[in-house]
Chains A and B, each alone.
Chain A
């Protein structure tokens, strides 16, 4: 087995025991990339030389025995909507095709400080808007389990890179499911932390009341270790919360006795692929056998979540993307007057889905429609959050499928935006309510595609969802399966 196939915790242990060096591990990862990338296309930018230099520095620190961080010397990929100082950051948009950030995102700075090795920048749906990675302005990424299928989105490049062992783990962002849904599609583990748990400073803003940063990893232990490094307060992000960061890896006791699993009846209805339902229900029974207690719960406003999300997220996006004006950075066309400069720069710089969302959001915020759409959506959003507050009086975590189907074929939904939006039906409520949620593999369908289970927690209770996910993972072998590339 190639060293590139190691988990973060195995790789970290072996580095600290000096079984191999960070340079050797990094070279193994780049060998793997060289052997698979023409099929997968997970990366928009590779940073081999810088990565090897970071690996040499990590090896110095490892030699000095100052090796406490689990990420020291470990090659990680970063979604291309995180600013990386001096390393091209495109957000998969023509708008930023040549953008070189003058500073690092806080989480990237944390990775550098802890001695992680950054392999490169991964593909995504343009401006993180999409569920298939097909909205990248450059090229689509393929699912390592089946090259005719999507890897999910928007963090499709990060998910595919982890699944294909093109990195040890990766950073992603999740606004409506963009870490969890691709993790489910690619058979890996994805964690969206609580809103405010991880700094968003330096990630390219999409919908600021929901954007959150999180890890995509090969197993749950890796997710806990990664989160320990990136969680915490950042004065540069006024929405990040100043509260202690628990040692998540110590919460992984394997014990779920007495943990109450809430099963929302609204999540097991129409439209779901039968194999997904069967796999998730089987997983719930496995947890029950290990001592967890099942509680049927209700989240009555679930059916309104997609409508609320696509009003709130597009409204925020239309405001956030107003900054791309062709003046200070980004694609710019010098036209006859200022308005034309704005309009043509934006016409050429943005792709179809981004334009669609800017239009929808501008409409929802415009005079005469604000109350009917934006304010109405924010009221229903309160009802959705209250559903979770009520449910969590009766359970400790909520268990659902991550997505209604396994990864679909490329081009299957690209012509029908509303169908594409409905792929996020199980993940978006969690962002609307600001909750933490984990997606982990719980089986495969008959076509051999991975199935994901979602475990949702109370605000700031990442420890419990990681504990439940880890206990399930210990009892099964799904996370250990690898695609045949």
Chain B
């Protein structure tokens, strides 16, 4: 299998990453090299093996649905690129 540049471009869109042409070239080569190494796994017959789910057999953790964090909107919004009072301000997404 050979990874194509078009495929790298398609994955970059899925990952919401803009890449420069140089990054595309480099990633096409590097990812192809890494994926070729991953093909090692095809040596193993695993159709009867369950996929891994958990290391320590933990059970689903339930807890009461109540607010435990202290309201501190200013501390949270201090990191926001843009805010309006106690709201995050984000780009308009519907016309």
Which of B7, B8, B14, B80 sits near A328, CB closer than 8 Å? B80
Q: Which residues of chain B have C-beta atoms less than 8 A from A346's C-beta?
A: 15-18
For A243, the closest partner residue in chain B by CB is B56
Q: Mark A109-130, 1 if CB is under 8 A from B, else 0.
A: 0000000000000000000000
Given A194-B56, A346-B18, A338-B91 contact (CB < 8 Å): yes
Do B90 and A103 touch (CB < 8 A)?
A: no
Q: Which residues of chain A have C-beta atoms less than 8 A from B33's C-beta?
A: 418
Which of A308, A344, A418 sits near B34, CB closer than 8 Å? A418
Bound-state Cα–Cα, A303 to B38, Å: 11
Is the C-beta of B85 less than 8 angstroms from some C-beta in chain A?
Answer: no
Is the C-beta of A444 less than 8 angstroms from some C-beta in chain B?
Answer: no
Q: Which residues of chain A have C-beta atoms less than 8 A from B80's C-beta?
A: 328-329
Interface residues of A in 280-314 (CB under 8 A from B): 301, 303-304, 306-308, 310-311
Which of B7, B17, B55, B69 sits near A343, CB closer than 8 Å? B17
Do A381 and B52 touch (CB < 8 A)?
A: yes
Which of B11, B12, B51 sits near A379, CB closer than 8 Å? B51
Do B40 and A307 touch (CB < 8 A)?
A: yes
Is the C-beta of B67 less than 8 angstroms from some C-beta in chain A?
Answer: no
For A362, the closest partner residue in chain B by CB is B15
Given A343-B18, A417-B34, A418-B37, A356-B46 contact (CB < 8 Å): no
Q: Mark A188-211, 1 if CB is under 8 A from B, else 0.
A: 000000111000000000000100
Given A329-B79, A346-B17, A355-B40 contact (CB < 8 Å): no
Is the C-beta of A277 less than 8 angstroms from some C-beta in chain B?
Answer: no
Do B56 and A195 touch (CB < 8 A)?
A: yes
Do B16 and A383 touch (CB < 8 A)?
A: no
**How many residues of chain A have a CB within 8 Å of chain B?**
73
Is the C-beta of A14 less than 8 angstroms from some C-beta in chain B?
Answer: no
Interface residues of A in 232-270 (CB under 8 A from B): 235-236, 238-239, 241
Bound-state Cα–Cα, A459 to B57, Å: 11
Q: Which residues of chain A have C-beta atoms less than 8 A from B30's C-beta?
A: 356, 417
Q: Which residues of chain B have C-beta atoms less than 8 A from A229's C-beta?
A: none
Shortest C-beta distance, A230 to chain B (Å), equals 17
Do B27 and A356 touch (CB < 8 A)?
A: yes
Q: Which residues of chain A have C-beta atoms less than 8 A from B50's C-beta?
A: 379, 382
Do B11 and A325 touch (CB < 8 A)?
A: no
Which of A85, A195, A307, A327 sits near B41, CB closer than 8 Å? A307
Given contacts A318-B15, A338-B93, A376-B42, 12 further A-B contacts (CB under 8 A): A209-B54, A236-B68, A310-B34, A328-B79, A329-B81, A332-B81, A337-B91, A341-B91, A346-B18, A352-B23, A362-B14, A385-B52
Which A residues form the contact surface with B (CB < 8 A)? 85, 98-100, 102-103, 194-196, 209, 235-236, 238-239, 241, 301, 303-304, 306-308, 310-311, 318, 322, 325-330, 332, 334, 337-344, 346-347, 350, 352, 355-356, 358-360, 362-363, 366, 373, 375-383, 385, 417-418, 421, 432-435, 459-460
6 CB-based A-B contacts, threshold 8 Å = A98-B79, A327-B90, A360-B34, A379-B49, A383-B44, A418-B37
